[in-house]
Amino acid sequence: MTKTNSDIKIIAQNKKAYHDYFIEDTYEAGISLAGTEVKSVRMGKVSIKESYIRIKDGEVFILNMHINPYEKGNIFNKDPLRTRKLLLHKREISKLMGAVAQKGYTIVPLKVYLKGSLVKVLIGVAKGKKLYDKREDIAKKDQRRQAEKEFKVKNLY
């Protein structure tokens, strides 16, 4: 959990999405949660690594998002992997439907964060990377890391 702004607290990130996809566009969506799920999210017990997003009947849903059951929630706890509805405007949903209709595009969750007192999900319209694209990214990362290491060693002496 890291703080970027005074009112935004990042709970979970999907770093693998940036490795596997080119992110074309992003949208901020609210998420429909039960009370005990919100408490669990505030404690940072969320994983979006295996989650994905589907549009069904003009509504957007996130599937396989894991929220650990709240310890003190007993009978009020919901299924950790249940399907949850994302809250978006109709025009945003229609844009997403148009993007997914194109070949090779999908919608992936990128971050779960608290904005003030609200739980938000950053979702991205993404196009899958080929293996050679992933190799290029890894090579660029290695070069950047090597340059930072050399810079650090150079400034020590």
CATH value at residue 30: 2.40.280.10
pLDDT in tens, 99-153: 888 887 888 898 888 888 888 899 888 887 777 777 887 888 888 888 888 777 7
- Per-residue burial over 123-141, b if 16 or more Cβ lie within 10 Å, else e, is bbbbeebeeeeeeeeeeee
Q: Could you tell me if residue 152 is inside a domain?
A: no
Q: Could you tell me if residue 142 is inside a domain?
A: no
Lookup: tokens for 69: 């059951």
Query: How many domains in the chain?
Result: 1
Q: What pLDDT is stored for residue 79 in this prediction?
A: 66
Residue 12 C-alpha from the chain's centroid: 7
Instruction: Please state, in angstroms and as integers, the Cα–Cα distance from residue 109 to each residue in 76, 87, 147, 157, following that order.
Output: 26, 13, 31, 44
Radius of gyration in angstroms for the set of CA atoms belonging to the chain, rounded to a whole number: 18
Q: Could you tell me if residue 155 is inside a domain?
A: no
Q: Are 98 and 55 in contact (CB under 8 A)?
A: no
- Report the percent of the chain where pLDDT is more than 90: 0
Strands 52-56 and 59-63: antiparallel
What phi and psi, each to the nearest 5 degrees, are found at residue 53?
-125, 140
Q: What pLDDT is stored for residue 24 in this prediction?
A: 84
Whole-prediction pTM: 0.72
Q: Could you tell me if residue 23 is inside a domain?
A: yes
Q: Could you tell me if residue 135 is inside a domain?
A: no
Q: Could you tell me if residue 122 is inside a domain?
A: yes
Q: Are 113 and 8 in contact (CB under 8 A)?
A: yes
Average pLDDT over residues 34-44: 81
Average pLDDT over residues 35-59: 83
**Is the predicted pLDDT of residue 73 greater than 70, yes or no?**
no
Q: What pLDDT is stored for residue 20 in this prediction?
A: 79
Q: What pLDDT is stored for residue 76 in this prediction?
A: 64
Q: What pLDDT is stored for residue 67 in this prediction?
A: 82
Average pLDDT over residues 30-59: 84
Q: What domain range includes position 86?
A: 2-129
What phi and psi, each to the nearest 5 degrees, are found at residue 45?
-95, 60
**Is the predicted pLDDT of residue 2 greater than 80, yes or no?**
no
Instruction: Kindly report the number of other CB atoms within 10 A of residue 2's CB atom.
Output: 9
Indicate the pLDDT class of residue 14, thresholds 50, 70 and 90.
confident
Q: Could you tell me if residue 138 is inside a domain?
A: no
